[in-house]
Amino acid sequence: MEIIKRGAEAEIYLADWHGRKVIVKRRIKKGYRIKELDERIREQRTKREALLMMAARKAGVSVPIIYDVRIKDKEIVMQYLNGERIKDVIDLKSQQWQKKICREIGRSIANLHENGIIHGDITTSNMIWMHEKLYFIDFGLGIKSIENEDRGVDLHLLMEAFKAAHKNKNLFQWVLESYEENFDEAKEVIKKVEEIARRGRYMRRVA
């Protein structure tokens, strides 16, 4: 296997699985934890991520196909998406394309939240455009929740990602418009996003 990314929680490998190019995500050991506890935590998080991805697919959100879940090895074997990261391409595209993608992002997040799925790390780095379809990847920080606070945190993270990495100031607004059209509880969640943003500004002033 060829390692292509090493993060704080997991290593990502490009590998061959029965003649098919795949991604293997392996949760890494944490030496500061008791061995038995570390094993249990990594197994639980591997299982949780796989279940969230399957739930997302059922909810109508495109995610990599899962081919195998190796709980004991803390690994998920999944489809290799040979596409483009939204982070890398969105600033290079026309405004019409940007609006189309942002509306699809909003629709997808609405489907996740309506089905009690919090992605946990919604940034344009974790979205892939392939074959005219938007895929969400890396549910490693995800949880099951129907709390508007959690939904708000999800969207606030995306808002901050747009501000930090992308030029067009309309991107997040287009996401919110689509989110509101596709999710009955959207207005309450958007209020939470605004509240979270205010809390952040207050904390920065205090600091």
Catalytic hit among 121, 150, 154, 184? 121
**Known catalytic membership, residue 88:** no
Q: Look-up: residue for tokens 């600091």?
A: 207
Of 109, 138, 111, 135, give the one whose Cα is nearest residue 7: 138
Beta bridge partners of 77: 24, 68
Helices (H), 84-166: 86-89, 95-114, 148-165
Count Cβ neighbours within 10 Å for each residue of 145-157 and write b for 16 or more, e otherwise.
beebebbbbbbbb
Active site residues: 121
